[in-house]
Structure 1
Amino acid sequence: MSTAGQTTNQLDAKTRELIAVAVGISLRCDGCITVHTDAARKAGTTEAELAETLGVAVSINAGAAIVYSTCALDAFAASAEV
């Protein structure tokens, strides 16, 4: 599966690995983070590029926390109606 993107070459290897790092962080997968951070470095990623990728992952997760928090509030309200 990890080679599927290589067949289209729409994204370069570095970009694919940075996306994989961000997804690994979102999934809280230590193995994914380790493997894809190493692959990103080997693909030429700089520390600054990795830092920006981490910023994107953090901003997405914070947004998701807000969305899921409203779901929890809705569920709480719905359980009171029963």
Structure 2
Amino acid sequence: MGNFEEINKRAQKNTGRIQEEQPDFMRAFKKLQQEGYKDNALDEKTKEYIALTYAIADKCEGCIGNHVNKLVKLGATREEISDIVAVCIVMGGGPGSVYGGKALEAYDEAAAK
């Protein structure tokens, strides 16, 4: 099991804890997510690229793993993830390079499955 697989499982378990305590809120949040990622002026893949960019900028490893997994399923390539990393470095400097590297690590793990 790769590092990001473990991170994703822990994040899902922690989200489950919130679900137990705040079921109505989490149902509403899930609905918000579903609405936000629907194809509209931007397709789902483009929206996932944006979410990954934010995840890298916000230094959220669970988010990086989650959005990379979704992007792999949507057909994203390692080169596309690398381009996102480059933009994150331009916008975020050194931290973008550290967490951008984590996005490529997560891609390598997800694509190897």
Q: How many aligned positions are there?
A: 62
Larger radius of gyration: 1
Structure 1, unaligned runs of 5 or more: 63-82
Letter of the 2:73 counterpart: K
- What is aligned with 1:11? 42
Percent of aligned pairs sharing the same letter: 32
The one-letter code of the counterpart of 2:61 is: D
What residue in structure 2 maps to residue 2 of structure 1? 33
Letter in 1 for 2:88: A
Q: Is 1:31 aligned to residue 70 of structure 2?
A: no
Letter of the structure 1 residue corresponding to residue 80 of structure 2: E
- Alignment correspondent of 1:80: none
For structure 2, which runs of at least 5 residues remain unmatched after alignment?
A: 1-31, 94-113
* CA RMSD after TM alignment: 1.4
| Contact 1:5–1:11, Cα closer than 8 Å, also in 2 | no
Q: TM-score, normalised by structure 1?
A: 0.67
Label 1:26 to 1:12 Cα distance change in 2 as closer, same or farther (>3 A): same
* Aligned mates of 2:67, 2:38 — CA distance in 1: 19
Q: What is the TM-score of this pair, normalised by structure 2?
A: 0.50
CA distance in 1, matches of 2:37, 2:54: 18
